[in-house]
Amino acid sequence: MPNVLITGCSSGIGRALADAFKAAGYDVWTSARHPEDVAALQAAGFQAVQLDVNDGPALAQLAGHVGELDVLINNAGYGAMGPLLDGGTEALQRQFETNVFAIVGVTQALFPALRARKGLVVNIGSVSGVLVTPFAGAYCASKAAVHALSDALRMELAPFGVRVMEVQPGAIDTSFAKNAGAQAELLINEKSPWWPLRDGIRARSQASQDKPTPASLFAADVFKAVQQSQPPRLLRSGNGSRALPLMAALLPKGVLETVLKKRFGLGGTL
């Protein structure tokens, strides 16, 4: 029986992926940070572990339990929203620790297991790493870094027979917007120079729920790609996943920035 390990499975994309692989007969390992989410995953029939993806010793212990591994899906992540200078370097570091550093840490810990089966690494990026918007700079930067890391890992792991696929979701129906909105509200206050633009900040935090694709359909696309004898280097799935990168590629930079500034209330002066 093939097996897969998926990080960040408490809800949304991670849980949908776990359901899709389980339905296809995979032995599914899942992780979540909170005990109640781990319990829910175990009750649903998954092998579930409580895991902080930035905890090196915990990752080493997990690798010992898993043994050999066919597929690793680096899904754990979150979106830090708000002006870059309001969040500062502390918010940027937290964003990169979970969305970027953890991908290297988890993959490093599980590399022997993947090498044994000549497995596949799937990194969940985002179209936000291609089309950068205001009030999501830390998140966009982290996902752009995921794209670069995926390209580098693909070349570096090739001699060992381990493949790498990057996935760039568009708008997917998950709790991402709710969580991102909560993150944004932590920064929005009257002391911020961007306080007059708070409606634009809130609008950006909810942008991922613009006609979202059901998470189950997205998971089905990912599973179908994983099953291919030669999985694609890049998979785009979900509403906007093709149109937004095309817009970023074709529109002159100045025009694109003008459109985005108008969209999120940055057209005037403060």
Identify the structural domains of the chain with CATH numbers, from first to last: 3-263 (3.40.50.720)
Contacts of 93 by beta carbon, 8 Å cutoff, 6+ apart: none
Which of 134, 114, 211 has the alpha carbon at shortest distance from 172? 211
Q: What is the pTM of this model?
A: 0.94
Residues 21 and 28: beta-carbon distance below 8 Å: yes
For 138, other C-beta atoms within 10 Å of its C-beta total: 25
Detail the DSSP E strand segments found in 97-147: 120-124
pLDDT digits (tens, 9 = 90+) for 5-19: 999 999 999 999 999
Collect the ranges in the chain with pLDDT lower than 50: none
Paired strand residues for 214: 173
What one-character-per-residue DSSP string does 133-175 give?
-TT-HHHHHHHHHHHHHHHHHHHHHGGGT-EEEEEEE-BEESS
> Is residue 261 within 8 Å of 192, Cβ to Cβ?
no
Helix (H), strand (E) at residue 92: helix 84-96
Which among 236, 19, 254, 53 has a CA at the least distance from the CA of 127?
236
The residues annotated with a catalytic role in the active site are 139, 143
Predicted pLDDT at 210: 74
Q: Are 100 and 146 a contacting pair, CB within 8 Å?
A: yes
Distance CA 109, CA 247 (A): 37
Other beta carbons less than 10 A from residue 250's beta carbon:
9
